[in-house]
A and B are shown apart, each in its own frame.
Chain A
Amino acid sequence: MPVITVTQVNKYIASKLKGDRLLQGIMVKGEISNFVHHYKSGHCYFSLKDKESTLKAVMFASAAARLKFEPEDGMAVVAAGSISAYERDGVYQLYVNDIIPEGVGKESVALEQLKKKLAAEGIFSQEHKRSLPVMPKKIGVVTSLSGAAVQDVINVLTRRYPLCELYAVNAIVQGESAPQSISQGILKAESAGCDVVIVGRGGGSSEDLSPFNTEAVARAVYGCKVPVISAVGHEVDFTLADLAADMRAPTPSAAAELAAPDINQLAENIDNYRRRCERAALEAVEKKISACNSLSARLVSQSPENWLKLMEEKLMNLEKRAETAALRNIERNNAALAEKAARLDSLSPLKVMARGYSLVYSGEELVRDSACISKGQTVKLRFDKGSAEAEIISTDGDNI
């Protein structure tokens, strides 16, 4: 019996396996375990297992790069490939070309994973959401210009907010080139100076949403320097573009309504402003008038006329007091006079003369001393009643 080498055995087995049609181009159902994505080479190594057995599997980098999702342990899949032997280790394994997730569609798994990845980067974060401009000057619309979406937007804005400028950027919204076209459209609208951008398309099947579920579009929406409103036109499904947008609208018309205010509302605002203007001005003027009135009243009280009146009153008052005082004085004086007159009367020589005394006058002089008269002189005698002339016969001096 010939002796052969290990290598020869493994090579032979490998060629046997490769030559067996039943092991080539097969689909193997199983659950992924021990999944390793080799960092440097990009090859994936894992096992497929079911309840009883495991099967080693490898997916080379070139095939792995085509996968739209990252396989994970525990994932139920169908792996497409061929069985061959790894000659160095003497093991057989499944060389995998493609992996199809079982149950859920491959696309949705990929989408979920992309969503997770972008979420982890903060692409969908609420903090990044910007508020829309209240009165946009230039509204960008990125969509197919041949579609209904752009006409919807034009109709709404013409009716609601004709003050704005509409910048419509044509974008391919279906097929392979759509993601790039949409992303570029967003950039164009941004660099054209739009202050808000509507990105979207009319309604359609779920399949048509796929460009809006790409990483490129989600990043373009997130990276846009001005707020973005998504209007993908689907009520149920939220696309990645919706999640990345600052505002989501169910339809392009709704997006246009979100993007701009209504001029009827604005007209009302103007009327309101005007009323407030009037009221405030009126109130201010009234306040001034009342201040002026109060000052004027105070001024009138200080006028010369008023002062004169006051003085007049004061004067009249003084006059009255003077009159009363004067009258009182006169009365008092009269009384005093009467008393004095009575006293004077009692001292009057006439009263003395009534008691029998007489007055002797030498000429006009009242004689008080006999030395003032001499013998033979004529004197006048005055009595209480009547008078007489007499001649002096002698005086005291004659006798001495």
Chain B
Amino acid sequence: MNGNMTFEDNMKKLAEIVSELEKGDVPLEKTVELYGEGVKISVLCKKQLEDAKIKITEEK
């Protein structure tokens, strides 16, 4: 689902999920769904951080 998204996009999504959950009054099914997605994205973000390798382009 988030495989092609950049780290920045994922972080943004994660922040959105957290604020949505913290808003409260979310239906139970949605809560479970959001929580699951939040955990998944946080794992993905961590992995993206671990796997990150700087790309250097030189313009002579």
A residues adjacent to B (C-beta < 8 A): 135, 137, 145, 154, 157-158, 161-170, 185, 188, 192, 263, 266-267, 269-271, 273-274, 276-278, 280-281, 283-285, 287-288
Contact A267 B31 (CB under 8 A): no
Decide: A273 near B56, CB < 8 A? Known: A135-B7, A135-B8, A135-B11: no
Q: Which residues of A contact B56 (CB under 8 A)?
A: 154, 165-166, 168
Decide: A168 near B21, CB < 8 A? Known: A278-B35, A281-B35: no
Q: Which of B13-31 contact A (CB under 8 A)?
A: 14-15, 17-18, 21-22, 24, 26, 28, 31
Q: Output the least CB separation between B22 and chain A (Å).
A: 5
Contact B18 A280 (CB under 8 A): yes
A135 and B45 alpha carbons, distance in the complex (Å): 14
Partner of B17, one of A135, A161, A277: A277
Q: Which 10 A-B pairs have the closest CB atoms?
A: A280-B21, A281-B35, A277-B38, A162-B52, A274-B42, A162-B54, A165-B55, A169-B59, A163-B52, A284-B31
Q: Output the least CB separation between A76 and chain B (Å).
A: 47
Contact A145 B32 (CB under 8 A): no
Nearest residue, chain A, Cβ from B46: A270
Confirm or deny: B2 has a beta carbon within 8 angstroms of a beta carbon on chain A: no
B residues adjacent to A (C-beta < 8 A): 6-8, 11, 14-15, 17-18, 21-22, 24, 26, 28, 31-32, 34-35, 38-39, 42, 45-46, 48-49, 52-60
A197 and B32 alpha carbons, distance in the complex (Å): 43
Q: Which residues of A contact B31 (CB under 8 A)?
A: 281, 284-285, 288
Q: Which residues of B contact A267 (CB under 8 A)?
A: 46, 49
> Can you list 8 A-B pairs, Cβ within 8 angstroms, ordered by A?
A157-B54, A163-B54, A168-B57, A270-B11, A277-B34, A277-B35, A280-B18, A287-B24
Q: Which residues of B contact A188 (CB under 8 A)?
A: 59
A269 and B34 alpha carbons, distance in the complex (Å): 18
Nearest residue, chain A, Cβ from B30: A284
